[in-house]
Structure 1
Amino acid sequence: MRVVEGTADIDDVGAFVETLGAIGDRHGVTVQAFDARYVVDRAHLELAVELATRAHARGDTIAEDFGVEILLYAAGRRQINRALTMGVSEGDCPVVAVVTDPETDNSHVGNEGGDGIEAAASDAREQLTAMSTLGAYDEDRVRAFFDVSDTELGATAGGLPDAVRERVALLPVEK
């Protein structure tokens, strides 16, 4: 798995997503973009990719498209329309994207996949203005999206990122 970060001035979300999809298709991998304001850290993405890959290997996916499956896990939701909130939006959007291949890759450091992943990550970077966006999440937005209450946050030793990763980890249990 590779993570690509930056900003994009998106006029047409469909066209932007289609461009990233074409990059993935050209290199035989999946490129899934997120609005970085909803992604708490790299571990959030790693867990989503790991769980989506596991579901794919078992033939137990929620979505037909692997990128959408990753999005569902990252959002901790089974409903595609609700998970799409985490996707990129029109205007100047902070973006973080994962580039992965469910057949040859896993999310752990040191297992970053082959040439297709690297080439697609490079091409995806060209669609963005370079900027560090991973971890620059909007706390209020994340708390509202993942429905993290003050009580829950107070009871979580690790803070908001841990509460979000817990939501991601619980999605397979809810299936």
Structure 2
Amino acid sequence: MELLECSLSIDDLDAFVADLGEIGERHGVTVQAFDARYVADRAHLERAVELADRAVARGENVARDRAVEILLYAAGRRQIDRALEMGVDEGENRAVILVDGGGSTGNEGGRDGGDAEADETAALEDLADLEAVVATGPTLAEADEETLCSYFEITDAERGATDASLSALVRERVALLEVEK
């Protein structure tokens, strides 16, 4: 899994999503864009990918599309419309775009049985060249704690009762989705 941390300026969300899908298909990878305010850290997305792939392997997935299944797990929600809040929107966005060549892309091992890592790298290069990408640079360095706590319904009392990090609590919410099915 690779991440492109970036600033986006999206004029047409449907066209942007189509561009992501086309790049994913061209390189045999899964591509999903997130509003960085809703992502705790890299481990959050790694856990979402792991659980989404496990759900697909077991035939327990909700979404037909792997990228949407990853979004559901990252959001800790089974309803696609609620999970979409975590995605990017038209206008200015501080974003992170996930690129993953493993799992159920329909082309394991990448394009034409190639190297998944090379396919991820090539996809990242194409993503960075999109017109909507204004700049690349860290967007996950500092978590938006207020947004994360609100979105994942993590209370002050819960945070006070544990020495677990906010990232660990978010990953717990992601894992709980598996239990709540």
User: Does the 8 Å CA contact 1:156/1:163 hold for their aligned counterparts?
Assistant: no
What residue is the counterpart of 2:167 in the other structure?
A: 161
Does 2:124 correspond to 1:121?
Answer: yes
The ranges of structure 1 where at least 4 consecutive aligned residues each deviate by more than 3 angstroms after the TM superposition are none
What residue is the counterpart of 1:24 in the other structure?
A: 24
1:1-175 paired onto structure 2 within 5 Å = 1-101=1-101, 102-103=103-104, 104=108, 113-127=116-130, 128=133, 129-175=135-181
- Deviation of 1:78 after TM superposition, in Å, equals 0.4
Amino acid at match of 2:126: D
Secondary structure in structure 2 of the residue aligned to 1:37: helix
Q: Deviation digits for residues 99-150 of structure 1, max 9, x if unmatched?
A: 1131447xxxxxx933222211221122321121124332111111111111
TM-score with structure 2 setting the length? 0.88
Q: Deviation digits for residues 49-92 of structure 1, max 9, x if unmatched?
A: 11111112222211111100000000000010000000001211
TM-score with structure 1 setting the length? 0.90
Residues 1:86 and 1:61: Cα distance change in structure 2 (over 3 Å): same
> Greater CA radius of gyration, 1 or 2?
2
Q: In the comparison of the two structures, how many residue pairs are matched?
A: 169
User: Does the 8 Å CA contact 2:4/2:136 hold for their aligned counterparts?
Assistant: no
Cα distance in structure 2, aligned partners of 1:15 and 1:163: 34
Q: Deviation digits for residues 140-171 of structure 1, max 9, x if unmatched?
A: 11111111111111123123111111000111
Cα distance in structure 2, aligned partners of 1:76 and 1:135: 22
Cα distance in structure 1, aligned partners of 2:53 and 2:141: 23
Cα distance in structure 1, aligned partners of 2:80 and 2:146: 22
User: Does the 8 Å CA contact 1:2/1:99 hold for their aligned counterparts?
Assistant: yes
Consecutive unaligned residues in structure 2, runs of 5 or more: 110-114
User: Does the 8 Å CA contact 1:36/1:95 hold for their aligned counterparts?
Assistant: yes
Cα distance in structure 1, aligned partners of 2:2 and 2:84: 21
User: Does the 8 Å CA contact 1:40/1:135 hold for their aligned counterparts?
Assistant: no
Identity within the alignment, %: 54
